[in-house]
Amino acid sequence: MNSEGVEFQVSHPNQEHGLHLPSPTAWPVVLALGLSLLLTGMVTNVAVSVLGVILAFSACVGWFRQVLPEEAHQAVEVHAEPVPVFTARRLAERRPEDATARKILPVETFLITSGIQGGIAGGAAMTVPAAIYGWVKYHSIWYAVNLLAAGGFVSWIGASNAFLSEFHLRGLLAALVIHGITSVLVGLLYGAMLPMFPRYPIVTAGVMAPLLLTGILHSAVAVVSPILDHRIDWFWFVASQIAFGLVCGFVVNLHAKVRTPQFQALPFSVRAGLHSDIDDRYHDESSDSDGEGTSR
């Protein structure tokens, strides 16, 4: 035992003198053996199965008689000695409870409207590289629009380049719905995520997130639709994603953050809940009364 430890005892003031526990019984093992022999007979000899049936039946009868009408018990004496337990942690003064002991994460965030505005702006920015790509490669700004609309009209995936380069009102409307909903949703996600990035949130969210998303989409689209995968130019796809990320992040970041009730200007480890700032302040005030061995 640790010499600095503190010893306690688990005492039992209301302890019973004796207990009833379920009686030992052979019927479970007999039933298990009977069922095993029953099946073993299928691969050996029918006599083994017959023996199994007899054992299983006997075990069921014996088991029922042991639990009906009342379960059989055995009496057990309870030993009265208290159980010693100890802790290596020296007793220390209780740390003062503080309202900041529990953090609400994130400590500050953007309003929902910021995310929506960012999503709309990012979505608009995204159309520029997409249109440039269509114009450079197919001399039509509608190519990317129709390709996106193929998400709604599956047969368009296999359509000719000439068809995809033409203007189709249905395609424009479908693309607007898909692009609009996706942009707003991702904008909301950015609004929630940006306050959590410790440094350069716009660059992190604007470059890293699109790269990760493209990686996931690239592997998924290859499985879902190899034809669509073949038609997508992934370089331009990344470019348009980054355009979205940078513009959306910039617009969202223009808005003022809303502080959560327990806002503190804390380092990341504290914001993530790994450390509490109480520890540091407590150490500063009374470094000699720290508890040894154990912390919360």
Partner 1 sequence: MATHIPLDEIHGSQEMGEQTQRKLWLEVLHDWVTTVDHKKIGLMYISYALFFLLVAGFEALLMRIQLAVPNNHFVSPEVFNGLFTMHGTTMVFFVGMPILFGFGNYLIPLMIGARDMAFPRLNAFSFWISAFGGLLLYYSYIGGSGLYGAGSAPDVGWFAYAPLTAKVFSPGHSTDYWTLSLLLTGIGTIGTALNIVATIISMRCPGMKMSRLPLLPWLYLVTSGLAFVAIGPLTAAQIMLMLDRYLGSHFFDTQAGGSAVLWMHFFWIFGHPEVYILVLPAFAFANEIIPVFSRKAIFGYPAMVAASVGIGFVSLGVWAHHMFTVGLGAAENTFFVLSTMVIAVPTGIKIFNWLATLWGGKIQFTASMLFALAFLFQFLIAGLTGIMLSVAPFDWQLGNSYFVVAHFHYVLVGAILFMVFSAFYFWYPKMTGRMLSEKLGKWHFWLFLIGFHLTFDFMHIPGLLGMPRRVYTYEADRGWMIWNMIISSGAVVQAVATLLFVYNMVWSYFKGPLAGPDPWDAWTLEWTTTSPPPSYNFAETPEVSSRRPLWDLKHPDDPDSDYEIGPSRRSRAKKESQ
56 touches partner 1 by CB under 8 A: no
Whether the ω angle into residue 106 lies within 30 degrees of 0, i.e. cis, is yes
User: Does the footprint of partner 1 cover residue 222 (CB under 8 A)?
Assistant: yes
| Rounded distance between C-alpha atoms, residue 142 and residue 139, angstroms | 9
Cα separation, 184 vs 175, whole angstroms: 14
Select from 3, 68, 69, 75 the one that contacts partner 1 (CB under 8 A).
Answer: 75
- Closest to partner 1 by CB, 113 vs 286, is 286
> Of residues 35-54, which lie at the interface with partner 1 (CB under 8 A)?
35-36, 39-40, 42-44
Q: Which stretch binds partner 1 (CB under 8 A): 85-93, 111-119, 166-174, 176-184?
A: 85-93
CB within 8 A of 109, min separation 6: which ones? 191, 192, 195, 257, 258, 260
User: Vertex 133, ends 132 and 139: CA angle to 5°?
Assistant: 80
Q: Does residue 27 belong to the site contacting partner 1 (CB under 8 A)?
A: yes
Phi, psi dihedrals of residue 7, rounded to the nearest 5°: -100, 140
Q: In Å, what is the CA distance from 236 to each residue of 126, 165, 197, 232, 289?
A: 10, 17, 26, 8, 61
- The beta strand positions in the chain, using DSSP E, are 6-10, 18-22, 73-77, 83-87, 108-109, 258-259
Smallest gap from residue 49 Cβ to partner 1 (A)? 11
Q: Is position 18 an interface residue for partner 1 (rule: CB under 8 A)? A: yes
Residue 154 engages partner 1 in binding (rule: CB under 8 A):
no
Q: Torsions phi, psi of 258, nearest 5? A: -100, 130
User: Which of the ranges 76-84, 155-163, 168-176, 249-257 carries the binding residues for partner 1, by CB under 8 A?
Assistant: 76-84
Question: What is the closest distance, in whole angstroms, from the C-beta atom of residue 147 to partner 1 in the complex?
Answer: 18
Nearest-angstrom CA–CA distance, 270 and 217? 34
Structure tokens at 231: 């038609």
Site map (CB under 8 A) of partner 1, residues 254-293, x = contact: ---------------x---xxx-----------------x
Task: Single out the residue of 49, 58, 87, 100 in contact with partner 1 (rule: CB under 8 A).
Answer: 87
Task: Candidates 8-16, 124-132, 176-184, 237-245: pick the segment binding partner 1 (CB under 8 A).
Answer: 8-16
Which residues make up the interface to partner 1 (CB under 8 A)? Answer: 1, 5-6, 8, 10, 12, 14-29, 31-33, 35-36, 39-40, 42-44, 63, 66-67, 73, 75-80, 83-89, 91, 94, 97, 101-102, 219-220, 222-225, 269, 273-275, 293-296
